[in-house]
Amino acid sequence: MVRGSRAFTPMLRVPLQMEALEARWVPAAYTQTPVVPVVDAAMAARLSAVIQRGAAVGNQANVFTRAGDSITFSNNFLIPLATPSVGVDLAGDGSLNDTLAYFRAGQIAGANSFAHPSVAAVSGYKSADVLGLLPSELALSKPAFVLIMAGTNDIAAGVPLDTFRQNLTRIAETALNMGVVPVLSTIPNSKFSAELERLQPSYNQVIEDVSEALQVPLWNYWRALQQLPNLGISADGVHPNVSPTGGGDLTEKGLQFGYNVRNLTALQTLDKLRRVLISGQSPDLPSNNQSWAPLTNALAVAAGDTTGFQVEVIDTVTRRTLFRFDPFPGFDGSVRIALADVNHDGVPDLIASVGPGGPPHVKVFDGQTGSLIASFYAFDAGLTTGLSLATGDVNRDGFADIIVCPEANAPAHVKAFSASGELLDSFLAFPSAFMGGGRVASGDVNRDGAADIIVTAGTGGQGHVMVFSGTDLSLLASFFAFGPAFAGTLSVTASDFDGDGVAEVAVAPSTAGYDPHVKVLHPLTEEVVSSFYAYDPGFRGGVQLATTGRNGHRALVTATNTAATTDIRILDTSSNGLLDAFFVYEAGFRFGASLGG
């Protein structure tokens, strides 16, 4: 007999019609490519061999050079990083300072790499010009790496796309043949003319294609500019702008300008290449579950639409992607995720459920190894509404349990399972006639040692929040988070944000059309602890919520849902202070994300 079970009519079984597909990484358009190059094990092995071949002919591991047009030739690029006075380390772990020192130590004719005037970087150069002078530059500077940007002048001069592709391929092959790793950079938006603006995406895609074909690093500078005022472009419509304090200002204020971001992302790119190819640190992991990194200090982000992988796991301390992961290979829709220690080994495990369009399948993966701990269907296989997912120890046995509820187009039927798939609880959070589904969260709101179950009504539920005791499923609280006139749906999470031993509940509108208003409150008294806008008040695309560990405490995580790039923010709810902010996915991605932390 399931504790708290109530009458429920099972859903009609519908045969599944899903073709089994092989799990694979699908190369993305350049708009989906990360800013800093992804260097997996295969690329690392190949490029390490290139560097070794270069060292045999005198190339220097701590030297790089550049090639390109006026954007690369400019004194605003790299030169501000040449002197030791610039030492801002935004990585937080010292690696950027280490990289600055490493490449400042290398010398080219008495200057370090940042200050060296490359003969292959000249204003007005097209790809053919770069190709003509690159061998001379590489013979002179003897570098391990060359940063290459070309294309803007090719577009202006009417160079055909196929010719540009051939030239760029030969540029990269020239570097490889001379034992130098070519790093191809996308070009910024051009506002000089409508024709340049129209053609620029096609040339950037060629840059991505050549990088993919030759398996050389792609530095996606274009993507790094997308969040800047005026896309980081100066009044001339072509060149990046620069901070009044100079291109070496890597503070938050300085990084509102195109050249400053170019310098930072160049340094981050060099840092990745130094760590992986020179120092032998671990390469990036592939997008399948054959490789894993322990989920300590992790945040899981699931795209609201397929992007070639379903889940990206991010280290919240360094912001670096630990790995990309497909918990449901062959299913090309969104998934829901949570992180919690279900096997009591001290490391959070990853729990995933299928989103709308797929069966109510739940999988649990060991946070240490990535091995599959459990796999079960939470409801009849014909239910394809997608599941809201939460975790919490509802039976006080020291192991996190799994809580699910259909998200929409079904009664708000809540179930709690152990990590092995054993049913612990089953009940209707709202009357059976309500078919809007629900969203779930969990936290000990009454300090009895058991995780209580928080349910918000789905579509048509007016933001109604119900809290049920994890001990006996009795109703602890019932309220409308944004008043009974609210007509949207809510994202919900819960945690002991202030360390007083009692969980608070955080809610925010998850549907478009509402202010990004976040409320944190004590549900038993409805006392509002904190109330703030997570984003600019003009943003009305919906907000997703989760929690994560930060400085020994739980912090609130927000993500933009739709109508914007996926903007992740980590906040201290006691002060509404912003602890961190970063973007995931490409600038044109508009499908939102769900979070697990």
Q: Please name the residue ranges forming H helices in 123-183.
A: 127-141, 152-157, 161-177
Range of the domain at 507: 298-596
The answer on pLDDT for 136 being more than 60 is: yes
**Domain final residue pick, 278, 313, 341:** 278
Same domain? For 455 and 557 the reply is yes
Q: How far apart are CA 372 and CA 364, in angstroms?
A: 6
Same domain? For 246 and 342 the reply is no
Same domain? For 274 and 319 the reply is no
Which residue did the predictor score with more confidence, 334 or 157?
Answer: 157
C-alpha of 9 from chain center: 39
Asked whether residue 17 is assigned to any structural domain, the reply reads no
Which residue did the predictor score with more confidence, 148 or 589?
Answer: 148
The answer on pLDDT for 307 being more than 50 is: no
**Domain final residue pick, 247, 278, 309:** 278
Average pLDDT over residues 318-322: 72
C-alpha of 408 from chain center: 26
With bands split at pLDDT 50, 70 and 90, how would you rate the model's confidence at 312?
Answer: confident
- Contact present, 364 and 374 (Cβ < 8 Å): yes
CATH number of the domain to which 307 belongs? 2.120.10.30
DSSP state of 29: P
Same domain? For 214 and 344 the reply is no
Q: Which amino acid is at 495?
A: S
When divided into structural domains, the chain yields a total of 2
Same domain? For 206 and 305 the reply is no
Same domain? For 439 and 389 the reply is yes
Contacts of 117 (CB under 8 A, 6+ apart): 111
pLDDT in tens, 503-514: 999 999 998 889
Same domain? For 324 and 438 the reply is yes
The answer on pLDDT for 26 being more than 50 is: no
The answer on pLDDT for 553 being more than 90 is: no
Same domain? For 361 and 271 the reply is no
Of the ranges 58-62, 107-111, 189-193, which one carries the lowest mean pLDDT score?
189-193
Q: How far apart are CA 467 and CA 429, in angstroms?
A: 9
pLDDT in tens, 211-262: 988 889 999 999 999 889 999 999 988 899 999 999 988 888 888 999 999 9
Percent of residues, the chain, with pLDDT higher than 90: 55
Sheet containing strand 321-325, strands side by side? 321-325, 311-315, 298-303, 593-596
DSSP state of 276: I
Q: Is 293 exposed, middle or buried (0-12, 13-18, 19+ CB in 10 A)?
A: middle
Q: How far apart are CA 572 and CA 557, in angstroms?
A: 9
Contacts of 374 (CB under 8 A, 6+ apart): 362, 363, 364, 419, 420, 421
Exposure string (b/e) for 216-254, b if CB count within 10 Å is 16 or more? bbbbbbbbbbbbbeebbbeeeebbbbbbeebbbbbeeeb
The answer on pLDDT for 311 being more than 50 is: yes
Average pLDDT, the chain: 85
The answer on pLDDT for 115 being more than 80 is: yes
Same domain? For 111 and 254 the reply is yes
The answer on pLDDT for 477 being more than 70 is: yes
Asked whether residue 481 is assigned to any structural domain, the reply reads yes
pLDDT in tens, 364-376: 988 888 888 888 8
Q: Tokens for 255?
A: 């990084």
pLDDT in tens, 28-81: 467 778 899 988 877 888 899 999 999 999 999 999 999 999 999 999 999 999
pLDDT in tens, 335-390: 898 999 999 889 999 999 988 888 899 999 888 888 888 888 999 988 999 899 99
pLDDT in tens, 395-414: 999 999 999 999 999 999 99
Asked whether residue 33 is assigned to any structural domain, the reply reads no
Same domain? For 101 and 153 the reply is yes
Average pLDDT over residues 459-466: 94
Most confident of 127-131, 314-318, 327-331, 549-553: 127-131
Same domain? For 353 and 477 the reply is yes
Which residue did the predictor score with more confidence, 305 or 73?
Answer: 73
Closest C-alpha among 367, 373, 470 to residue 422? 373
CATH number of the domain to which 267 belongs? 3.40.50.1110
- Contact present, 528 and 479 (Cβ < 8 Å): no
The answer on pLDDT for 585 being more than 80 is: no
- Contact present, 207 and 168 (Cβ < 8 Å): yes
Asked whether residue 101 is assigned to any structural domain, the reply reads yes
Q: What are phi and psi of 218, to 5 degrees?
A: -115, 120
- Contact present, 351 and 596 (Cβ < 8 Å): yes
With bands split at pLDDT 50, 70 and 90, how would you rate the model's confidence at 94?
Answer: low
Of the ranges 78-87, 499-508, 537-546, which one carries the lowest mean pLDDT score?
78-87
The answer on pLDDT for 326 being more than 90 is: no
Of the ranges 96-100, 106-110, 219-223, 285-289, which one carries the lowest mean pLDDT score?
285-289
The answer on pLDDT for 566 being more than 50 is: yes
